Amino acid sequence: FIDICFTSSTVPKMLVNHISGNKAISYSGCLTQVFFFSWFAGLDSIILASMAYDRYVAICAPLHYTMIMTPKFCAHLVAVCWFWACIDALIHTVSLTRLSFCDHNEIPHFFCDLSVVIRLACSDTFFNDLMVYIVGGLTAVMPFIGILISYTRIFVAVLRIPSAHGKQKAFNTCGSHLAVVCLFYGTIIGVYFNPTSTHTAQKDTA
């Protein structure tokens, strides 16, 4: 569901622009796109960390799983994920409203990506950049660190399993989730942290 919402925040508008040949987007439409894209991207990141913790408890503390991962705890965990991701997106979106933009801006991207929109501003963007590093870091970096810690402990626990069948079963439990984690964070690293990526118009809209 989250992945559907994530892609739906950008793909429909992109398809409309492609079919109509009109690539324009209004200021309010751009802010709306930034909000929902940031919301579901952040939510995806936090949910993946929560799922990694679930796998950790299932493999490293199976006898205590039902006591730790109670329905009430899971409901609270999901609610916190949705709430924090929404706050993160709201901070970035509201921060954009304080910026001044020159007329007839051209976004060298398929959609209104936060980093691209900030670079188009004619006014000082120090506060926006600071929020990207602080709030965005809490939403993206901290969950990633949590995932690394969870899977490090899972890997150590799996190595202690004496039977090959037990190890195979444990890895099968984590395989699909680990693949999604690699795809999600691999894409983020490739797009936003690649030193050779300059986000030029040709590269972003190719």
Q: Which domains does the chain have, with CATH numbers?
A: 2-204 (1.20.1070.10)
Map residue 104 onto helix, strand or coil: coil
What residues contact residue 195 under an 8 Å CB cut-off, 6+ apart?
none
Q: Which residues of the chain have pLDDT under 50?
A: 197-206
Q: Which residues of 125-155 are buried (b: 16+ CB within 10 A; e: fewer)?
A: beebeebbeebbeebbeebbebbeebbeebe
Question: pTM to 2 decimals?
Answer: 0.82
Give the torsion sign (CA, 194, 195, 201, 202). negative
- Looking at residue 198, its pLDDT comes to 47
- Looking at residue 53, its pLDDT comes to 94
Phi/psi of residue 26, nearest 5 degrees: -75, 165
Q: Inter-axis angle of helices 71-97 and 27-60, to 10 degrees?
A: 150
Closest CA to 154 of 165, 169, 141: 169
Rounded CA Rg of the chain: 20
Take residue 136 and report the two structure tokens written for it.
Answer: 């965005």
- Looking at residue 46, its pLDDT comes to 92
- Looking at residue 203, its pLDDT comes to 44
- Looking at residue 201, its pLDDT comes to 43
Q: What is the dihedral of CA 145, 151, 156, 159, to 10 degrees?
A: -160
- Looking at residue 187, its pLDDT comes to 82
C-alpha 42/C-alpha 138 separation (Å) is 9
What type of residue sits at position 22? N
Distance of CA 148 to the CA centre of its chain: 16
